[in-house]
């Protein structure tokens, strides 16, 4: 069997297994409107996507994954509850020549069900684990929802919390903001100098003195940004205790039961995370009922923060070394964004059959 035939056979096996689990096969266009995808995936994906311009339809993108078009189709005319599966090519540009595929098959499984989200999380994870059994993969789980709840619960301005939430998927930028908002990092000299200038004169006068406007921003936009910077400079820092709890949460890595105990300790000081922690506990019970060995299941609070920006709850990966063979998670908010006033809890994941085929061939 040729390598491509082996990959196709593996994709067909996975696709059939998802159908046997009750999923309805769906398809999605290969060429998709770029504006919607960039809004939902984040502008960072532009560097990894193949983008072109259609003279009639505008900016278009080769399909980077299936989740957004599947959610769009479900929210337009899907049943409630529903299960879907898909198999097809996805496209990701690479910044160097190497083994990473620019075009590859992706097989996926999604559950839309409002009755028992934690049980759906467990079902998806357990199904993927069973399909990948024997490949000696390392399973890692996380929960973006706990970190989001922690940020929403701190005593900071709404603008500062919004900035932190916006950069959850950019760990270095998030950490830099947290360091600044908590007072751990000194203000950069350039920013301090800018604030001093803004405080010393009216923004309109400073804009006029700077000369002709360059770029797309109008004078009123620049003035509004200046006012925001001055307002932020006056904001009190995040309390030392809350900052310590956030730093602790970011670094949390432990077997799932130990992580749960630790999170309950954090919740004493950050009670806003308690509902998300309770969902984590319910998920562990559901995973155990599916036969998952939760005692040794790895949990990392920061796991999934470099994945797609639509995840807002449970996340997971099955890894071979540093290579992601399968991954997925919960994306409830995405259904609300695309549902035009309607929403439904949803979770799913994908498996990369070319990596599975390679591992089976090497076994």
The residue with greater pLDDT, 96 or 262, is 262
How many other C-beta atoms can be found within 10 angstroms of the C-beta atom of residue 208? 10
The pLDDT assigned to 310 comes to 86
pTM above 0.95, yes or no: no
Q: If pLDDT is split at 50, 70 and 90, which confidence band does 219 have?
A: low
CB 32 within 8 A of CB 60: yes
What pLDDT score does 302 carry? 94
Boundaries of CATH 3.30.930.10 in the chain?
A: 3-150+245-362
pLDDT for the residue numbered 85: 97
52-82: per-residue pLDDT in tens?
888 888 888 888 889 989 999 999 888 889 9
Q: What is the pLDDT of residue 70?
A: 94
Q: Model confidence over 254-263: pLDDT tens digits? A: 999 999 999 9
Say how far apart CA 123 and CA 143 lie, in whole Å.
16
Beta strand 58-62 with 103-112 is unpaired
43 pLDDT exceeds 70?
no
- Please give the mean pLDDT across all residues of the chain: 87
CA distance 239 to 294: 34
CB contact at 8 A, 225 and 204: no
In angstroms, the first-to-last Cα distance of the chain is 16
> pLDDT category, 309, cuts 50, 70, 90?
confident
Tens-digit pLDDT profile for residues 107-140: 999 999 999 999 999 999 999 999 999 999 999 9
Alpha carbons 159 and 249: distance in angstroms, whole number: 21
Whether the pLDDT of residue 188 is over 60: the answer is yes
Question: Are 182 and 245 within 8 A, CB to CB?
Answer: no
State yes or no: pLDDT of 196 exceeds 70: no
Of 341 and 127, the structure prediction assigns the larger pLDDT to 127
Calculate what percentage of the chain has a pLDDT beyond 70. 82
Tell me: pLDDT of 179 over 60.
Answer: yes
**Banded model confidence at residue 223, pLDDT cuts 50, 70, 90:** low
For the ranges 86-100, 156-170, 273-287, the maximum mean pLDDT occurs at 273-287
**Between 323 and 94, residue with greater pLDDT:** 323
Find the range with the poorest average confidence among 50-59, 160-169, 211-220, 294-303: 211-220
> What integer is the mean pLDDT of 203-231?
60
Q: What are the C-alpha distances in Å from 284 to residues 119, 122, 288, 309?
A: 9, 8, 6, 24
Q: What CATH class does 3-150+245-362 carry? A: alpha beta
> Which is nearest to 78 in space by CA: 343, 320, 355?
343
């Amino acid at each position: 069997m040729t390598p491509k035939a082996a990959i196709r056979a593996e994709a067909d096996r996975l696709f059939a297994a998802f159908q046997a689990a009750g999923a309805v096969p769906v398809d999605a266009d290969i060429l998709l409107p770029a504006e919607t995808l960039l809004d939902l995936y984040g502008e960072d994906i532009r560097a990894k996507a193949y983008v072109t311009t259609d003279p009639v339809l505008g900016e278009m993108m080769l399909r980077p994954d299936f989740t957004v078009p599947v959610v769009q189709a479900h929210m337009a005319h899907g049943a409630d509850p529903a299960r879907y599966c898909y198999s097809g090519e996805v496209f990701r540009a690479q910044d160097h020549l190497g083994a990473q595929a620019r075009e590859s098959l992706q097989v996926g499984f999604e559950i839309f069900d409002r009755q028992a989200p934690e049980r759906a999380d467990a079902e998806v994870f357990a199904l993927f684990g069973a399909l990948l059994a024997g490949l000696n993969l390392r399973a890692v789980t996380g929960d973006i929802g706990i970190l989001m709840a922690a940020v929403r619960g701190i005593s900071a301005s709404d603008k500062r919390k919004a900035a932190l939430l916006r950069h959850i998927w950019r760990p270095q930028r998030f950490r830099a903001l947290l360091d600044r908002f908590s007072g751990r990092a000194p203000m950069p000299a350039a920013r301090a100098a800018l604030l001093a200038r803004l405080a010393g004169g009216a923004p309109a006068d400073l804009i006029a003195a700077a000369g002709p406007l360059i770029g797309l921003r109008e004078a009123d936009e620049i003035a509004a940004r200046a006012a925001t910077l001055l307002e932020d400079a006056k904001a009190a820092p995040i309390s030392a205790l809350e900052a310590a709890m956030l730093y602790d949460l970011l670094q949390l890595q432990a077997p799932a039961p130990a992580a749960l105990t630790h999170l309950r300790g954090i919740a004493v000081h950050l009670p806003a995370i308690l509902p998300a922690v309770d969902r984590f506990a319910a998920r562990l019970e559901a995973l155990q009922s599916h036969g998952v060995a939760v005692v040794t299941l790895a949990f990392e609070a920061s796991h999934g923060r470099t994945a797609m920006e639509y995840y807002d709850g449970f996340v997971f990966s099955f890894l071979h070394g540093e290579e992601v063979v399968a991954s997925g998670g919960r994306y409830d908010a995405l259904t609300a964004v695309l549902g035009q006033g309607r929403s439904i809890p949803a979770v799913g994941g994908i498996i990369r059959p070319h990596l599975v085929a390679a591992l089976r061939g090497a076994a």
